[in-house]
Amino acid sequence: MRRRYVRGRRAQEHSRRAHENGENDGCEDGCEDGVPSSDSDSEHLLFGGPLRYDTGWARHEEAYLELSLRAVICRLPRLLASGFRLAWRADPYAARALVAANAGRGLTQAVGLLAVNRVLAVLMTGATLEDRLRSALPSLFVMAVAVSAGALLRAASTYAAGRLGPRVERAATELYLERAAQVELAAIEDDRFRRLLDSARYGAASARRMMDIGNRVISAVISFIAAAGVLTVLHPVLLPLLAAMTLPGTWSALTTARRRYRSFHAWSRHTRAGGLLGHMLTDTGAAPEIRVHGVGPFLLRHFRSLSESAEAEQTRLARLEARTGLIAAGLAGAATAATYLALGGLLLGGAMELSVAGTAVIAIRTGSSSLTALALEVNALHEQALFVGDLDRLCEEAARRTPPPGTLALPDRPERIRFEHVTFTYPGDGATPPRTPALDDVTLTVPTGKIVALVGSNGSGKTTLAKLLAGLYTPQQGRVLWDETDAALADRRQLADRVAMVAQDFTRWPFTARVNITIGRPEAPSGDARMASAIRHAGAQDIIDGLPRGLDTLLVRGFRGGHELSGGQWQRLGFCRAAYRQGQILVVDEPTAALDARTELKVFDEIRSLADEGSTVLLITHRLASVRHADLVHVLDKGRLVESGTPAGLLASGGLYAELYTLQASQYASGDPPRASAGRPVGSGAVDC
Ligand SMILES: Nc1ncnc2c1ncn2[C@@H]1O[C@H](COP(=O)(O)OP(=O)(O)OP(=O)(O)O)[C@@H](O)[C@H]1O
């Protein structure tokens, strides 16, 4: 009931707007800027409303539609300048050649038109035909030279644009990737920056397209200027006649293009929704449920409903296009008749010579086709320029968010890493209320050469603390000290070099097993000893032995020879990668979550042996039985440090650690499932711990 009311209100609002815009293209049912509402019952049922992308580039859908042609033309020079800067950086020679060739073409067109005028004038005056032809020869020669030069310059401009395009795309892509890889992790996780990244991703392809469209715009502008200049020289009244003949065609082309564009954006949500349904129907992950729950016919029905409404929209557009084309043809016909009547009047009144009228007809034809092309290309150019503008903004923003390289050297063999009153809050998206700190005034010590465990409920800040230690984030307050050196001022490359990490969501690289291990330290000389030691520490020999091509097996499905590992096997490979890296500090976040009991024991033995060899291990785990391997345990709760001590000491003290431990141990001791509410509340993740 409520939904019907909301949809009714929305339809009324759409109708009102369409009415205000003076558009009534058969959309009694609620229109969006002349486009019938694309909201459908299927979308409401399946997605709770229209399926919109939440990405940066999607912003341009609205931005572009809001702009009038005048606004587009006003903004264009700035946007064009950023495209030209890219072109200049990519290939200054080709950029110069492109501009020069187009300018030259305009000149040849003007010269050609004037020569035509001269030829016609000479042919229509003079005594004998032979005399007239002889007198016309020099102008004919000029015409031939102008046409040949124009052809040569067109070839030069095609070559320059073709050479420039890929180079511009490569330069822009490199710029994009370089900037994206440099920024701090917090920027990558920041919604606003992510949107900018999304949007700027299209900057490179758009920059390339801009070269082609820009080339056509320049040549249309120059050709229009040449035709308009010649017409003004021939007779001042001809210029308004040119405009009158051109306007209907331009109006028709622009109206149709904008209508299609609007419709595309209103209806692309629909198409996207249909695509998603199609994908779900064939997706491997959804396949079992589709079969067991009989979801197939349900999805197919909604797919058909979405497709049928999209087809109806195409029919509506075709009808409108035909109508606009007809109106434009009528107006253009009237304007052409008026033009020829005016030319006839000028001829009869003796205000214009026949030769001038002939040249005028040619110039009007050239000028009007250039102007129509210009209007369309400017529209397209503006759309591409928006994305190139985003690439510019990304570069500025990335420069702001790239951490300084740092200058202080870290101690070779630090005795401890100390967190001093560290507070860290993840950046918000600006729209929602500010986040609460993930770490709040935390002071603790990680002695080197030991196993230090971080324990606490879900969301208590363990992973965040490990990432701060690895230098992935910088605290807003407090310091992380390696002995006495502040990590925020330390050489960032040196800091990264000291740490190896097996994160919860470590990357499953779509490469061979060998690369998946060595990518932990790609520049290390690939020696068998290092590899063998890493495989041994991770207890991964059986996995490698089981692969069809051993270390050279490709670990991704969907490609020939590709092989899929189980979750636990991947986890051991991730551990192997970290061991291969041989960092001073090894951070392991839930290293055994997907492992069977026997393998888990083996991995913890290896962690112990790594610590015995001098490495520092920062262990994050919810399996408190495994924490007995640790030399020191820090217990976090809601971003604060609540307890620290040895496992035995903490058990004896009867605090949060002891409570969590007892809760977990009781699962094994008794047949009854433990109750999370037993004892005092320990946060939402009490049972996990
Ligand atoms: N990238 C992020 N952006 C925003 N908030 C985050 C991000 N990562 C973590 N948080 C928030 O910070 C808090 C601490 O998260 P953290 O991952 O450090 O906890 P944790 O103790 O490791 O949890 P778990 O045991 O579930 O892995 C949580 O409230 C979490 O929602």
Q: Give the pocket of ligand 1 (CB within 6 Å).
A: 189, 426, 438, 456, 458-464
The rounded Å distance from CA 639 to ligand 1 centre is 9
Q: Edge to edge, what strands does the sheet with 485-486 contain?
A: 439-447, 416-424, 477-482, 485-486
Single pTM value for the model: 0.66
CA R_g for the chain: 36
The rounded Å distance from CA 461 to ligand 1 centre is 6
Cα(153)–Cα(105) distance, integer angstroms: 6
Q: Look at the alpha carbons of 263, 265, 266, 267 in this order and tell me if their dihedral is positive or negative.
A: positive
Length of the chain measured in residues? 689
Structure confidence at residue 439 as a pLDDT band (50, 70, 90): very high
What is the number of the ligand 1 atom nearest to the C-alpha of 688?
A: 25
What is the share, in percent, of the chain residues with pLDDT greater than 90? Answer: 15
Q: With helix as H, strand as E and coil as C, how does 41-58 read?
A: HHHHHHHCCCCCCCCCCC
Cα(580)–Cα(619) distance, integer angstroms: 18
Q: Which two tokens stand for residue 687?
A: 């049972």
What is the number of the ligand 1 atom nearest to the C-alpha of 467?
A: 18
138 compared with 253, residue with greater pLDDT: 138
Residue whose Cα lies nearest atom 18 of ligand 1: it is: 461
Average pLDDT over residues 57-64: 59
| Ligand 1 pocket mutation, candidates 423, 462, 476, 587, criterion most atoms within 8 A of CB | 462
The domains spanning 76-400 and 416-669 adopt the same CATH topology? no
Question: Which of 242, 491, 565 is CA-nearest to residue 374?
Answer: 242
Residue whose Cα lies nearest atom 24 of ligand 1: it is: 458
What is the number of the ligand 1 atom nearest to the C-alpha of 460?
A: 21
Question: Which of 39, 8, 32, 6 is CA-nearest to residue 18?
Answer: 32
Cα(556)–Cα(644) distance, integer angstroms: 42
Give me the CATH code for the 416-669 domain, please.
Answer: 3.40.50.300
The confidence score (pLDDT) of residue 282 equals: 85
The rounded Å distance from CA 448 to ligand 1 centre is 25
* Domain boundaries of the chain, sorted by first residue: 2-37, 76-400, 416-669
Burial letters for 308-337: b for 16+ Cβ neighbours within 10 Å, e otherwise?
ebbeebeebbeebeeebeeebeebbeebbe
Judged by DSSP in three states, 684 sits in coil
Q: 321-367, pLDDT tens digit by residue?
A: 899 889 988 988 888 888 878 888 888 888 777 777 777 888 887 78
The rounded Å distance from CA 464 to ligand 1 centre is 6
Question: Which of 689, 610, 283 is CA-nearest to residue 449?
Answer: 610
Q: Which two tokens stand for residue 649?
A: 């000491």
Give me the CATH code for the 76-400 domain, please.
Answer: 1.20.1560.10
What is the number of the ligand 1 atom nearest to the C-alpha of 456?
A: 21
Cα(257)–Cα(373) distance, integer angstroms: 12
Residue whose Cα lies nearest atom 1 of ligand 1: it is: 189
Lowest-pLDDT choice from 385-394, 529-538, 547-556, 642-651: 385-394
